[in-house]
Chain A
Amino acid sequence: MDTTALSPDVESVRHSPAPRLTLSGIAKSFPGVRALHDVCLSLYPGQVTALIGENGAGKSTLVKILTGIHRPEAGEIRIDGEAVVLGSAHEAFEHGITAIHQEAVLFDELSVAENIFLGHAPRTRIGTIDWKTMRANANEVLTTMGAGHIDADARLKDLGIANKHLVAVARAMSIDARIVIMDEPTAALSAKEIEELFLLIEFLKSDGKAVLFISHKFDEIYRIADRYTVFRDGEMVGEGLLADTDQSAIVQLMVGRAVDRIFPRRAANIGAPVLSVSKLSHPTEFEDVSFELHKGEILGFYGLVGAGRSELMQAIFGITRTSGGEIALEGKTIAPRSAADAIDAGIVYVPEERGRQGVVIGMSIFKNVSLPSLKRTSSSGVLRLKQEFDLARFYTRRLDLRAASLSQDVGTLSGGNQQKIVIAKWLATVPKVIILDEPTKGIDIGSKAAVHGFMAELVEEGLSVIMVSSELPEILGMSDRVVVMREGRIAGIFDNKGLDAVRLVETAAGIGSA
């Protein structure tokens, strides 16, 4: 891609009009986590600004602030120079801000026209919905956008994801939105559909909308955006014109200084292969995945969101079916058909979504810990409460869990402590391989360090760990080797000796290889 030649278009971007939207000094924190700190951002009419950053950099929090779902604790939002408060989703809507999400948030059972005009449908004189006008207006909006092929009467659920995006954009047009946020809109689209989406973004630009485009994919960013803003760890670390900046400079901004946190030192004592996966495939999520995990090793899995890492791990754990390939544990082929099979074989999985898939909120700590080990804490189906308590006490102590009582509901604990319980519950099954999916996502620094320290202890005891993580410092700080996945395939396996963060990001994003 040629990014050096300045087209007339770039010249016009240089002489930018006054910004449509400016954020300054925005701060937002959640219990134990500082999500955004002193963030600035400007969006210009008729221009696309790409928001770039690692997972956890604060992009989604920013979108939620702009759409009125979260309120910032400090800072100012100005639209056309005028300070505004976005106190609710409705107020954001009134100010002409609309967001198009990864998964379109529309109403499947309603028609296209109803979706476009929901909340501002044209009315007849007696106050009922004027269907004829609504249908005509819908057709008009769709035709202006070049989406005349969509039937205004079609049910939304019968449309493909790309057409749903078009409907979402049509909705934005119909309310005369001035600021359009696109949060990874291409994540679920085919190459052809992406082209159509880009035509549409061009249309929005020519119509004078200010567009915020969030994507992990550099080719898309360079293709469609005029400006970029880079976030790292909740702060804005750089912005500018894409025409003046090459990819590696942006990657450098995203990554920042290499490992700037302290990770536990440990003596790598790596043994024979424990888990070998060969040519594992799934109908839609991943293909031809082969790797080996050794005894006492931490194998990092890095990649962009949607690279198929979690799906791969769920397949190894028996929750997702595979379409081919083989999994062998200590030389024996296994074919886990359920989580129970995998647990029996000695593979456990600490899922990414702690609240939904991990802890059972509403149950006490000890019941959570013993849940996958009920066979061991009962004899002929009858539970031995003392054994259960002993098991829970032993493992929660090992993880340094702070709780008043083991009978306490896990819902009363902080995220970090909940994560400790999820890990404790899996350790209690005495596994051979433990898969941790984003083990420190959304937990405070102290608990992060505790989880990292504990992982180091585990591998020293001879357990093998797979760590799926989108946090570069964590990947570089903890892994012995790193597997990088891209679009469902393994894009590279690296020894973590002098491994460069930039190289990982470039492999994950497909820069330089494609």
Chain B
Amino acid sequence: MKALFDIREVWLAAAIVAMVGLVSLRFAGFAHPGNLAQLFNDTSILIILALGQMVVILTRSIDLSMAANLCFTGMAVAMLNAAFPAIPVPLLIGVALAVGLALGAINGLLVWKLDIPSIVVTLGTLTIYRGATFVLSGGAWVNADQMSPAFIGFQRTQVLGIPLLSWVAVTVIAVFFLVMTRTALGRSIYAVGVNPTASVYAGIDVGRTKFIAFCISGLVAGLAGYLWISRYVIASVEVANGYELNIIAACVIGGISIAGGIGSVGGAVLGALFLGIIASALPVVNVSPFWQMAISGSAIIMAVALNARGERKQGRVILRKAEAA
């Protein structure tokens, strides 16, 4: 459990609990289990996306195209559903995963084979994927009345009293936790981020590891594409415009170091929850959306400052121990 909740995550969790506590002073129902479950459900898509982004950031890269990928994939499955309502939802999810993976693989290949910095690659593909969505749809929307009831209803299915969307998020969290802590791939991702040179000497293919990371972020962006469209029941070129910044913000607040190699599944989940709670708690206590943005922004800067301080403290520990040895 140490890897899931190290000290940084404990502080973040405490901040979240404190925030819930404060809001429930003004609005008693806020801390009610039902409301909290609803809150988790509302944040599920962000959690899923943040986990994909986390893997990429850990390898010292960044994926700015996730929201554009989500938009394209969502449009693709929405149009498929509108044209062929008979296609079962699981198959559509399969299509979403495949399309998302393909778009992620394009990013990964460019980063790996052409050795272009990921921020440039994904800034380019962000625009391309948005443009491709326009080409695909001709600029038209897919509305709720064009989507099949199964398409819309799938994630709202209640299992043990909780919507399927939340279960999907829980499953994704569990899978990421296992991959990052219990597989050779997860270990390689961390090693590449912490020290790429030593990783090369240890026989790890750094380029290939980054490629796989982009495939993972593409895969979850595809999954999120279906979930987003079926949740907000509208597919347009504008879907999730600018949302890549929320994804990155969740990671940063969650203690994932932009310099790579540091971060955990627990951190990414808590970072996303933190943003989710700000978004739903502040309207409850009558704080304007503009203050919400300012608070999210301050949280990002505070998180980075605290993490930087934490790492400096570690440095001092190193010195002391080296002297003692």
Contacts and interface: CB of A to CB of B under 8 A. Distances in A.
Nearest to B199: A360
Given A361-B194, A374-B188, A402-B325, A383 B202 contact: no
B183 interface: yes
A381 B183 contact: yes
A492 to B, nearest CB: 29
Interface in A406-447: 409, 411-414, 417, 425
Interface in B239-282: 261-262
Contacts of A357: 197-198, 201
B201 A351 contact: yes
A409 B322 CA distance: 12
A477 B198 CA distance: 29
B190 A411 contact: no
Given A412-B317, A417-B325, A319 B200 contact: yes
Nearest to B261: A362
A155 B135 CA distance: 44
B198 A359 contact: yes
Contacts of B321: 412-413
Interface stretch (A104-112, A132-140, A277-285, A337-345): A337-345
A356 B198 contact: yes
10 contacts: A31-B322, A338-B205, A339-B200, A356-B195, A357-B197, A357-B201, A361-B195, A385-B182, A413-B325, A414-B322
Given A362-B194, A383-B187, A372 B323 contact: no
Given A363-B191, A374-B188, A414-B325, A358 B198 contact: yes
- A interface secondary structure, majority: mixed
Interface string B298-325: 0000000000000000100110011101
A17 to B, nearest CB: 45
B187 A367 contact: yes
A106 B261 CA distance: 31
Nearest to A349: B201
Contact of B318 (A358, A402, A412, A425): A412
A339 B203 CA distance: 5
A476 to B, nearest CB: 28
A401 B41 CA distance: 49
Nearest to A362: B194
A359 B203 CA distance: 13
Contact of A411 (B202, B261, B318, B323): B318
Contacts of B261: 362
A289 interface: no
B211 to A, nearest CB: 15
B144 interface: no
B184 interface: yes
A383 B182 contact: yes
A114 B34 CA distance: 66
By Cβ-Cβ distance, the 5 closest A-B pairs, closest first, are A340-B203, A374-B184, A414-B325, A339-B203, A360-B195
A317 B202 CA distance: 11
Interface string A312-331: 00000101000000000000
A349 B204 CA distance: 14
Contacts, number: 85
A338 B261 CA distance: 23
Contacts of A319: 200-201
A423 to B, nearest CB: 13
Interface in B175-192: 182-185, 187-188, 190-191
B316 to A, nearest CB: 11
A371 interface: yes
B49 to A, nearest CB: 24
Contacts of A412: 317-318, 321-322
A266 interface: no
B201 A358 contact: yes
Interface string A378-392: 100111010000000
Given A338-B203, A363-B191, A382 B198 contact: no
B323 to A, nearest CB: 6
A363 B200 CA distance: 16
A425 B199 CA distance: 12
A343 B195 CA distance: 19
A157 interface: no
B314 to A, nearest CB: 8
Given A360-B198, A371-B187, A402-B325, 19 more contacts: A319-B200, A340-B205, A351-B201, A356-B198, A360-B191, A360-B199, A361-B194, A361-B195, A362-B262, A371-B191, A372-B202, A372-B203, A374-B187, A378-B183, A381-B184, A383-B187, A412-B318, A414-B325, A417-B325
A375 interface: yes
Residue of B188, B202, B323 contacting most chain A CB atoms (<10 Å): B202
A335 to B, nearest CB: 16
Interface in B17-38: none
A432 to B, nearest CB: 16
B185 A381 contact: yes
A296 B52 CA distance: 49
A367 B186 CA distance: 12
B173 to A, nearest CB: 18
Interface in A154-176: none
B50 to A, nearest CB: 22
Contacts of B318: 411-412
